[in-house]
């Protein structure tokens, strides 16, 4: 980190501490492979040292499975002596944690080699490498996420979630009621605190809508002209939602499919591209006639099978798919069509963009963004034409062809020459090793259903 940048960051720290003399602690946060936030808590007096020298954390932080255990087959654990790397603050991410009883701030970090180079296994750096390819073309990426989640009761039933009782009526919701304003009113204090907390933290969230299942909601984020920043907002928003819900004696889940027979949680991403003059290269009165838009879509659809392991990284991720839940299962696109994988929203010609609709809310935003942008860049630079846009119900017209389970998705990713040109093969090896370890543990477990079916019948 250069001396001028360090001085700027120290000024950021000084200004924040002066504005918030009540702050006692600062949480230093870094998102692992699964998007789970980990880190350290320090006293405010140590903040300047963090800006000056960083903090040490083991490289194995990026080789953790969903349970927080190191996957040794990644080579980032005992093979390197569980050695430390150094983490530095990300400018502009120092903010208050509004849910804390003891005044506490938070600061996002990113990992580097001890010599200063970014650490290859930090998902933020995986994305940064893809973004640099657009920088070389003089293109700027604008991006925004839509994040779905369930409010759930803090008390589960036999380990399974249930909807929380409404603080207003005392009843548990049981019906879909998409977009119903009354359902927003049932949980108004919690939902408004989420929006107000987002504003306090500088997260550009301006709307919450009722989604397609009991106590399911979606938060919309504004687009920003920095895809890395868009991902930071999504990661911080998830943490905010969870902790605000705790304050209201509720829990939340971003699990892809928490309830059989109900809609899963999605993470849609909107992407547009600006040229050197700031013009949207996708802008058009007739999107089908815009070559840049077509080529970007063509690249995304061609690479979509290889993206799936990043978009749907868990065993549970693939339970979310189904026509009745608006989760696309084929590489398809269309104009203002919510049954396809890549939707082009209608509206102002200047606001034409890509809406990628496949990923679940359990995806790591950095890896989701990196894989989608890899497809966009691949399409633009190779002028890949997409198939004809789908009109009407895509599920009736396009045969399911995307990987429908984690093992197949990992194989396609591991074999993809295109993805290996955008995402360091060393990182793909680490990711695949972690997910194969989780998959092996899952497959070695025996489910309740197996006992019910087989224990006394065979």
The one-digit pLDDT tens for each residue of the chain (458 residues) are 554 556 667 889 999 999 999 999 999 999 999 999 999 999 999 999 999 999 999 999 999 999 999 999 999 999 999 999 999 999 999 999 999 999 999 999 999 999 999 999 999 999 999 999 999 999 999 999 999 999 999 998 888 999 999 888 888 887 665 556 667 788 999 999 999 999 999 999 988 988 878 899 999 999 999 999 999 999 999 999 999 999 999 999 999 999 998 999 999 999 999 999 999 999 999 999 999 999 999 999 999 999 999 999 999 999 999 767 788 999 999 999 999 999 999 888 999 999 999 999 999 999 999 999 999 999 999 999 999 999 999 989 998 999 999 999 999 999 999 999 999 999 999 999 999 999 999 999 999 999 999 999 99
pLDDT at 173: 81
Return the closest-CA partner of residue 262 out of 270, 271, 253: 253
Contact residues for 96 (Cβ-Cβ < 8 A; gap 6+): 20, 23, 103, 104, 105, 106, 200, 201
Q: What is the pTM of this model?
A: 0.95
How far, in Å, CA of 408 to CA of 306, rounded?
A: 10
272 close to 352: Cβ distance less than 8 angstroms: yes
How far, in Å, CA of 392 to CA of 389, rounded?
A: 10
pLDDT at 6: 65
Residue 135 in tokens: 């920088």
Q: 116-121, long-range: CB within 8 Å, 24+ apart, which pairs?
A: 116/1, 119/59, 119/62, 119/85, 120/424, 120/426, 120/427, 121/33, 121/59, 121/62, 121/63, 121/76, 121/426, 121/427, 121/430
Contact residues for 348 (Cβ-Cβ < 8 A; gap 6+): none
pLDDT at 178: 55
pLDDT at 3: 47
pLDDT at 185: 82
Contact residues for 246 (Cβ-Cβ < 8 A; gap 6+): 99
Q: What angle do CA 249, 213, 324 make, to 5 degrees?
A: 155
Return phi, psi of residue 182, to 5°.
Answer: -60, -35
Q: What share of the chain is helix, strand, coil (3-state, %, to 5)?
A: 40, 20, 40
**Residue 413 exposed, middle or buried by CB count within 10 Å (0-12, 13-18, 19+):** buried
Query: How many Å is the maximal CA-CA distance in the chain?
Result: 72
How far, in Å, CA of 64 to CA of 42, rounded?
A: 23
């Amino acid at each position: 980190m250069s001396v001028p940048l360090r001085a700027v960051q120290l000024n950021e720290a000084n200004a924040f501490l002066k504005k918030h003399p009540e702050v006692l602690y600062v949480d230093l946060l870094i998102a692992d492979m699964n998007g789970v936030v980990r880190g350290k808590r320090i006293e405010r007096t140590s903040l300047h040292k963090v800006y000056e020298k960083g903090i040490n954390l083991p490289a194995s932080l990026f080789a953790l499975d969903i349970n927080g255990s190191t996957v040794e087959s990644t080579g980032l654990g005992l093979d390197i002596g569980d050695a430390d790397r150094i983490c530095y603050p990300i400018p502009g991410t120092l903010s208050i944690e509004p849910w804390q009883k003891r005044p506490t701030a938070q600061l996002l970090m990113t990992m580097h080699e001890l010599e200063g180079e970014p650490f290859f296994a930090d998902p933020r750096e995986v994305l940064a490498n893809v973004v640099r390819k657009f920088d070389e073309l003089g293109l700027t990426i604008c991006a925004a996420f839509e994040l779905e989640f369930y409010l759930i009761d803090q008390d589960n039933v036999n380990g399974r979630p249930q909807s929380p009782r409404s603080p207003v009526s005392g009843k548990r919701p049981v019906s879909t009621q998409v977009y119903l304003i009354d359902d927003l009113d049932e949980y108004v204090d919690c939902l408004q605190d989420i929006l107000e907390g987002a504003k306090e933290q500088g997260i550009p969230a301006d709307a919450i809508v009722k989604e397609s299942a009991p106590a399911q909601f979606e938060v919309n984020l504004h687009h920003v002209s920095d895809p890395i920043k868009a991902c930071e907002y999504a990661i911080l928003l998830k943490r905010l939602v969870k902790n605000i819900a705790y304050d209201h004696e509720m829990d939340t889940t971003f699990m892809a499919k928490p309830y059989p027979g109900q809609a899963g949680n999605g993470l849609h991403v909107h992407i547009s591209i600006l040229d050197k003059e700031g013009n949207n290269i996708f802008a058009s009165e007739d999107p089908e006639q815009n070559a840049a838009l077509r080529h970007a879509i063509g690249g995304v659809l061609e690479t979509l099978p290889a993206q799936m392991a990043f978009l749907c990284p868990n065993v549970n991720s693939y339970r979310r798919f189904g026509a009745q839940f608006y989760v696309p299962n084929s590489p398809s696109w269309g104009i203002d069509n919510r049954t396809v994988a890549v939707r082009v929203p209608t509206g102002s010609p200047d606001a034409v963009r890509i809406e990628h609709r496949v990923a679940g809310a359990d995806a790591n935003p950095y890896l989701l963004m990196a894989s989608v942008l890899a497809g966009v860049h691949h399409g633009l630079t190779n002028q890949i034409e997409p198939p004809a846009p789908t009109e009407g119900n895509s599920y009736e017209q396009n045969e399911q062809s995307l990987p429908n389970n984690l093992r197949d998705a990992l194989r396609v990713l591991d074999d993809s020459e295109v993805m290996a040109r955008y995402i360091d093969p060393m990182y793909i090896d680490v990711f695949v090793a972690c997910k194969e370890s989780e998959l092996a543990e899952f497959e070695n477990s025996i489910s309740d259903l197996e006992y019910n079916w087989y224990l006394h019948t065979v």
